[in-house]
Amino acid sequence: MSVVLLMLPVALLLAALGVWAFIRAAKGGQFDDLDTPPLRAVFDDDEPTPRSKG
């Protein structure tokens, strides 16, 4: 029973920390643009390097 009395506050603290981090990220604009990052992987802007013959 003493383990529950220790782990319950720790679990509630971790849950509150996760909710706080999510709210802070949402207010900071972390989730504003969800469409562009996957497209960056598909449309690469780097020029391909020519293969050397030899």
Name which residue leads in pLDDT, 45 or 31: 31
Q: Is residue 39 part of a domain?
A: no
Q: Is residue 50 part of a domain?
A: no
Band (pLDDT 50/70/90 cuts) for residue 27 is: very high
Element (H, E) at 29: none
Owning domain of residue 9:
1-27
CA distance 31 to 29: 5
Residue 54 has pLDDT above 70, yes or no: no
Q: Is residue 8 part of a domain?
A: yes
Structural domain tally of the chain? 1
Q: Is the pTM of this model over 0.75?
A: no
Q: Is residue 35 part of a domain?
A: no
